[in-house]
């Protein structure tokens, strides 16, 4: 819940012995505060209960860390939201294409379907011509209005800054590759700095040095295209060049 470390610090201030700290933790005020915090954070809304049921159904069959289950749940929610977003963006693009092909005559057919019968039978549609001549200003204004609404709706999905297609995602990852790994390294260091024992055992061994990712001497965007494709891959990689030579790389 995020208050374990502050509560431990308060317990250490409450006394010098373990008994005094234990008495502080089981005191009525501390226990009442814990119960109130847990009851307040309990899932009570229908969306929260549905999200919890989805997580339980997906993560219960296997043993995993709490952080892993939380990450998987976030990814599932994002994928569902992205699918809805893509379907809405595709519908907006389709509406824009329809509006671009809409003219005065097709709009007149749409507003008055009975006028389209004469045109489909290849007869002179004097009624259609008369209707367009009488309502030309209104029809042109409606065509422009529909195009403006469709363009604004389609453009709104591209103003969010989130990539839509797979090509856009690949381009985005290539631009943010170095910054992403830099933030990942900083996040790990910050997490390990916060997760420290306030009072370690006297006979506890010193921590083992962690293996961290080496800092790249060349930025990702400056690497050749072949090296960009192989970054992050492991195992055997066969590369066939234009000279019909095959080179083997091991990572």
Give the residue, 241 or 175, on which the prediction is more confident. Answer: 175
CA angle 224, 226, 232 (to 5 degrees): 100
Q: Domain ranges in the chain?
A: 1-42
User: What DSSP designation does 76 have?
Assistant: H
Q: How confident is the model at residue 119 (pLDDT cuts 50, 70, 90)?
A: low
In tens, the pLDDT along 212-232 reads 556 666 777 777 777 777 776
> Among 143, 207, 211, 215, which Cα is nearest to 178's?
215
The reported pLDDT for the residue numbered 168 is 78
**Range from 16-30, 38-52, 67-81, 115-129 carrying the lowest mean pLDDT:** 115-129
Q: How confident is the model at residue 189 (pLDDT cuts 50, 70, 90)?
A: confident
Determine the average pLDDT of the residues in 143-151: 86
The reported pLDDT for the residue numbered 248 is 52
Q: How confident is the model at residue 246 (pLDDT cuts 50, 70, 90)?
A: low
**Range from 55-59, 71-75, 238-242 carrying the lowest mean pLDDT:** 238-242
CA torsion through residues 217, 219, 220, 221, sign: negative
How large is the C-alpha radius of gyration of the chain? 32
- pLDDT of 122 over the 60 cut: no
Which residues are registered as beta bridge partners of 238?
Answer: 248
Percent of the chain with pLDDT over 90: 1
**Range from 90-99, 111-120, 148-157 carrying the lowest mean pLDDT:** 111-120
Give the residue, 204 or 15, on which the prediction is more confident. Answer: 15
Q: What are phi and psi of 247, to 5 degrees?
A: -115, 145
Q: How confident is the model at residue 117 (pLDDT cuts 50, 70, 90)?
A: low
In tens, the pLDDT along 27-43 reads 998 999 888 888 777 65
């Amino acid at each position: 819940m995020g208050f374990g470390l502050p509560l431990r610090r308060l317990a250490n201030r409450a006394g010098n012995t373990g008994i005094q700290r234990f008495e502080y933790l089981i005191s009525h005020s501390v226990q009442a505060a814990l119960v109130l915090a847990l009851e307040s954070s309990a899932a009570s809304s229908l969306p929260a209960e549905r999200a919890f049921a989805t997580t339980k159904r997906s993560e219960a069959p296997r043993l995993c860390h709490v952080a892993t289950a939380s990450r998987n749940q976030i990814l599932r929610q994002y994928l569902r939201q992205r699918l809805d977003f893509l379907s809405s963006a595709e519908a907006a693009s389709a509406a824009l294409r329809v509006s671009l092909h809409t003219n005065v005559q097709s709009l007149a057919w749409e507003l008055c379907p009975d006028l389209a019968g004469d045109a489909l039978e290849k007869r002179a549609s004097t009624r259609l011509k008369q209707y367009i001549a009488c309502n030309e200003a209104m029809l042109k204004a409606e065509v422009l209005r529909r195009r403006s609404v469709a363009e604004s709706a389609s453009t709104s999905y591209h103003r969010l800054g989130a990539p839509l297609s797979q090509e856009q995602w690949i381009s985005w990852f290539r631009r943010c590759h170095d910054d992403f790994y830099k933030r990942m390294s900083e996040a790990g260091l910050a997490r390990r700095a916060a997760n420290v024992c306030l009072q370690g055992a006297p006979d506890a061994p010193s921590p083992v040095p962690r293996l961290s990712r080496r800092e790249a001497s060349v930025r990702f965007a400056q690497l050749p295209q072949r090296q960009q494709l192989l970054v992050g891959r492991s195992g055997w990689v066969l590369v066939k060049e234009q000279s019909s030579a095959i080179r083997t790389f091991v990572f």
